[in-house]
Chains A and B, each alone.
Chain A
């Protein structure tokens, strides 16, 4: 077990290192931020001075070495675009994205599970197909479009919800739904598959043959047995949410990490993008690690 743990942890560390390095060099290929920071009338000298101030005049390898060393010391650098330490900027954004992610997950689970259950129990009937179409419809409309339509309907015409920004819980509703729609289909279909597979098993069949009520079956066996794959999907869904947040946060002016990512790439704010990627890959990799470990505890055969 210990060997397995060490192996998995080193794999995870290697992955994070790989992600960070890849993004570091990709970013350096996208060009530098100096032109954007300076006014149009800037001269060659101004550009040179600015590059020196930002440390961009050093060779890429030494920038890379410095970056790794500083990150290892948990010194995340300074954003010249936003004139603040990177750690400060990112920490202020984390709660907002967390709120949004929790809201979205809650929405997609609360709607996805029941939909999945209904679809599983009506699998042979037309209802199931219509529900599936509905679920897929939710997923197949781009967020940037459904988001603005929601804003216009509920914010401008009906005036039920605030159009954008943060503040109260009501601000959270539309962005959460908008982001949650992406995962809704995944949860509904996962639940449906898991329940259908479980329904096909002998013990359920015989129980049903004996006349045990469906509701009781669901309560007693199905939910518990179907939970494991669903939980492990959630781990992956979290990282998908981070990606979806880029567009949702832009549309709803939600001051979270997704919007920060977008703006930082657009401004070539390398320091911030770098740390967001580090954070994102850390979350993804740990989520995978945890779900792997959970699996191996449940089912020891999976260990290599």
Chain B
């Protein structure tokens, strides 16, 4: 009996190590299966049951997490919000990561005028506050989820390009690269087989940190009225409308805020584990 207790305890502790992955899986599951698991249609308004506290019973069910300013079920909106928040963050990290890494590696490999152009472009983009760039771009492209992803990707790719460029340069004089170049291997081949595998870890670390930032960025755009279009729910847009009701209906913003917090925390923790030691210096410089 004693033995059993002990081992369960150890098992639980070992399992606990996986919590960031667990949450990530939960959020992704919420995103994929939202139509099946949410109790209400997230956009269904009940104007006579506005701002009701958690546990409020209406015809057709219970608002387990209360209702918002239009009488929509907060729980369903949190579940559907995961879909938008996770996919906006995921897709913009993928786009900016792929474009930034590719350009950065190319710039590091093809030194000279190409490198100069790319790296000056990186400087230019890094010198404009991302939020300003985002506001301008949304004003030009118009709002909407696709444009939000585009805007986030456009303003974040230079981070990856910087690191990819620096890492490629530092690998340029390593034997395997020099030999491969001397043997006349194509750029694509060198980058793919020699450079990319060696910088992948670093890129992944940035990506996980950026993932959390993207969720926050989308929230910021929502606050400025430039995020995803209503009535669609994202955690950011729920927070930004819910903040106006903090003193009368705390539940509107608290639950998406909690989701956002756990998502960012999980992403960052995974990032640290992947990178071994935290590598802020690489991501920031």
Contacts and interface: CB of A to CB of B under 8 A. Distances in A.
Direct A–B contact in complex, judged by CB atoms less than 8 Å apart: yes
Contacts, number: 136
Interface stretch (A45-53, A56-64, A79-87, A132-140): A132-140
A22 B284 contact: no
Interface string B224-237: 10000000000010
A280 B127 contact: yes
Given A261-B132, A262-B224, A15 B127 contact: yes
A174 interface: no
Contacts of B140: 26, 29-30
Contacts of A149: 243, 246
Given A136-B268, A142-B239, A186-B284, A26 B129 contact: no
B150 to A, nearest CB: 14
B241 to A, nearest CB: 11
A227 B147 CA distance: 41
A141 B268 CA distance: 14
B137 interface: yes
Interface in B194-247: 212, 216, 219-220, 223-224, 236, 239-240, 242-244, 246-247
Contact of B285 (A23, A232, A284, A285): A232
Interface in A1-50: 11, 14-16, 18-19, 22-23, 26-27, 29-31
B279 interface: yes
Contacts of A139: 212, 264
Interface string A235-250: 0100110110011000
A11 B224 CA distance: 34
B280 A189 contact: yes
Q: How large is the interface on A (under 10, 10 to 19, 20 to 34, 35 or more residues)?
A: 35 or more
Nearest to A244: B131
Helix, strand, loop or mixed for chain A's interface?
helix
Nearest to A119: B278
Interface stretch (B75-83, B89-97, B102-110, B116-124): B116-124
Nearest to A287: B127
Interface stretch (B40-48, B62-70, B173-181, B253-261): B253-261
Given A141-B257, A246-B129, 8 more contacts: A23-B136, A140-B261, A140-B264, A144-B220, A148-B246, A192-B278, A236-B285, A280-B127
Interface of B: 120-121, 123-124, 126-133, 135-137, 139-140, 212, 216, 219-220, 223-224, 236, 239-240, 242-244, 246-247, 253, 257, 260-261, 263-265, 268-269, 277-281, 284-285
Shortest beta-carbon contacts, A-B, top 6: A243-B129, A140-B264, A18-B124, A281-B127, A30-B139, A15-B123
25 contacts: A11-B120, A11-B123, A18-B124, A22-B124, A26-B137, A140-B260, A141-B261, A142-B220, A144-B243, A145-B257, A148-B246, A152-B247, A193-B280, A193-B281, A229-B281, A232-B285, A239-B129, A242-B129, A243-B129, A243-B130, A262-B135, A265-B139, A277-B128, A281-B128, A285-B123
